[in-house]
Amino acid sequence: MRALLQLLRTGRGWRVGGPAAARLPQAASAGSGPRRAMALYRTEERGQLHSQDYRIFFKNVAGHYISPFHDIPLKVDSKKEENGIPTKKARNDESENLFNMVVEIPRWTNAKMEIATQEPLNPIKQDVKDGKPRFTANIFPYKGYIWNYGALPQTWEDPHQKDKSTNCCGDNDPIDVCEIGSKVLSPGEVIHVKILGILALIDEGETDWKLIAINANDPEASKFHEIDLNWDSSASAPLVAGLTDIDDVRKFKPGYLEATINWLTYYKVPEGKPENKFAFNGEFKNKAFALEIIKSTHECWKAMLMKKCDRGAINCTNVQVCGSPFHCTPEKARSLVESVLTSSSNKESNIDDQVWHFLGK
């Protein structure tokens, strides 16, 4: 309980800002601390927050609308690309061992924001349940989500492909990320993360991987030991040296992994759903295992973008994956955004986001 209270105290001074409009920090000079990301992306809001027509669209440095699902590279600093898909082999240094993460939900908030996988250019929107914007319940002793929550771009958990380690098919979404740094982020921020481990949630019979990661620019990131990867999307298993990263979470953030299991087990119970289950008896897998899962979901995404598998209702419209049959021009992308209708509907209030639900044995 002492560790849990300490975890909750890290939320003091928290902020919940609007979407990120080029809010990534500026580059740091050599030797001046953590490597910082340049402002490669900015966002544009349409509609009213917490209404059904609210959307966060993404733009690149040229001011062109893009898809955060398909156009933002999976790996950071991937200079060599094939059909818009990063293929450059990583060097043995920290700057090459980073992934892009699209933030959907800030820590301590309840609005269930998500990449709209079935809409053109995949803006972030609020999930809808029973005709109303969805808010996740507070499970005692937590307030909203207990991490910054989001996804890795250019990944896809194929609902038609059975995962060999869980024996369940994917959940039809990009792979989820629980970012455990000290900063409260904003919807639409694109940050660089270090992968620490992974958890296999089984949600209504589907595999729903949860990556554990930390913002590479977070003050606490230096505590987590870097691993020598030599990883790319076509390579074999990464070469691992040093400590197992998931164990560093237990060392430097005691109670956080246990709280993660507890939160994910019960968060849907107030909606009348059963407790969630986990593969591997709820065991967190290490970074090497996580990287294999990322590689697999990236390959599934590539097959989808190249029209080599059944994508179902997923919208694959993109601006930067030039070899994809779903590629469109920046002018077409702009027309798609401008065709999105917004109404003057009032935002939904959520009384339940102030209520604690007491669950468990």
The range of the structural domain enclosing residue 267 comes to 42-76+96-225+242-343
Residue 22 domain flag: no
Residue 1 domain flag: no
Residue 46 domain flag: yes
Residue 30 domain flag: no
131-158 in b/e form (b: 16+ CB < 10 A) is: eebbbbbbbeebbbbbbbbbbbbbbbbb
Which residues 6+ apart lie within 8 Å of 269 measured at CB? 139, 275, 357, 359
pLDDT at site 130: 87
Phi (first) and psi of residue 149, to 5 degrees: -115, 140
Q: How many domains does the chain have?
A: 1
pLDDT at site 33: 38
> Could you tell me the mean pLDDT of each successive run of 10 residues in the chain, 361 residues long?
43 38 36 50 95 96 97 79 45 64 98 98 95 93 97 98 95 97 96 96 96 93 62 45 69 96 96 94 95 96 96 97 96 95 65 78 56
Residue 235 domain flag: no
pLDDT at site 354: 79
What CATH number is attached to the domain comprising 326? 3.90.80.10
Residue 263 domain flag: yes
Residue 312 domain flag: yes
pLDDT at site 218: 92
Residue 56 domain flag: yes
pLDDT at site 234: 52
